[in-house]
Amino acid sequence: MFRYATSLAARHGTLWVARWNRTWHVTPHDFDGRELAPGFVVRPEGTARVTIASIAVDEDRRVWIADTGSERVRAFTAFGRELEGLPRGASDRAGSLAGPIAIDSEGVEEEARIVVASIGVRRNALHVVRADGRASVSLRPRDADVGFSGLGRVAFGPRGLVLACEPASGLVLVWRDGQFHFAFRAPDSRVPVAVRALGDGRIVVASADEDGGALDLVDAAGRPIRALARGGTDPDDLGDPEDLAVLESIGPDRRTRIVVADSAGTRLAVWNLEGDSYGAFEPAADRAARES
């Protein structure tokens, strides 16, 4: 099972950080690292232990959480009041959201949708579901006879795109309008960890290998455009990436901000689309634990 310490989501200029430090905290920041509100602690459902694998924030500011401990997708207001989430699944079949490991959201109100990746090797591991849970579509794997070989982070993209990392195969998988479209490898054949699609179709890919992490910008076909960051020991280098979020800005690439959480979860590092570093900041949950 994937064990993430930090998950990121961006919406309306706000960076949302889910971070484990004694308990699971969800906290809003700006992209300079300032905490915008106290956030909230995610409590267990019954006896199940909370394990946040992924978060998403929709246009209505609902915070969606893939809780692998409770084995379902939960929903909260921005102030931490729990709402009705998505139905728990129990098997490898179409419409069953069993063992959610990654999510993303798009749309508003009755048009809001959630893409949910389930843990494990299965044929029905990826669903797009309405936020009210009333309808879902199972996205087919590129090889229906084999199924998915363990999905990682997922993301909605423009013009009907859905993207999913498949670390075991080393591929980023892409669907358009519910149909499998194509797959591509992360630059230098690294293992894809997280992806985000930009409005113009370009894609930001965070990846890893034994030499450290990488952050790259690729075109809509997965072809490399430029390297944004590489792993290393200097303060401006990339740690082993765990998740990323993008605050896209209209205009030059230098205005768009990318935040990457490293696998230790101890820092959130910021770059722009030209590869300029803006330093790093400490997650609010870590600051609160250290000061308590």
Annotated domain spans of the chain: 6-291
Bigger pLDDT: 143 vs 236: 143
In percent, the amount of the chain with pLDDT more than 70 equals 94
**Mean pLDDT computed over 187-215:** 93
**Mean pLDDT computed over 273-284:** 89
Categorize the per-residue pLDDT at 111 as very low, low, confident or very high, splitting at 50, 70 and 90: confident
What lies within 8 Å, CB to CB, of 265 at 6+ separation is 5, 6, 19, 20, 242, 283, 286
| CB atoms near residue 149 (< 10 Å) | 16
> Helix H segments across the chain?
284-291
**Mean pLDDT computed over 136-152:** 90
C-alpha 174: how far from its chain's center?
15
Q: Is the pLDDT of residue 3 over 70?
A: no
**Mean pLDDT computed over 234-247:** 87
Q: What CATH topology corresponds to 6-291?
A: Neuraminidase (2.120.10)
DSSP 167: T
| CB atoms near residue 226 (< 10 Å) | 12
* Coil, helix or strand at residue 290: helix
Q: Is the pLDDT of residue 194 over 70?
A: yes
Buried (b) or exposed (e) across 97-136, using 16+ Cβ within 10 A?
A: bbbbbbbbbbeeeeebbbbbbbbeebbbbbbbbbbeeeeb
Q: Is the pLDDT of residue 123 over 80?
A: yes
Bigger pLDDT: 256 vs 20: 256
What lies within 8 Å, CB to CB, of 190 at 6+ separation is 170, 207, 208, 209, 214
In percent, the amount of the chain with pLDDT more than 90 equals 70
* Coil, helix or strand at residue 64: strand
Categorize the per-residue pLDDT at 1 as very low, low, confident or very high, splitting at 50, 70 and 90: very low
Which has the minimum average pLDDT: 19-23, 111-115, 194-198, 227-231? 19-23
Q: Is the pLDDT of residue 188 over 70?
A: yes
User: What pairs with residue 281 in β-bridges?
Assistant: 268
pLDDT value, residue 271: 95
Average pLDDT taken over every residue of the chain: 91
pLDDT value, residue 143: 85
Bigger pLDDT: 225 vs 95: 225
* Coil, helix or strand at residue 77: coil
Tell me the C-alpha distance between 289 and 272, whole Å.
29
pLDDT value, residue 89: 86
Question: Strands 191-197, 203-209: parallel, antiparallel or unpaired by DSSP?
Answer: antiparallel
pLDDT value, residue 258: 97
Tell me the C-alpha distance between 18 and 13, whole Å.
17
Q: Is the pLDDT of residue 35 over 70?
A: yes
Q: Is the pLDDT of residue 250 over 80?
A: yes
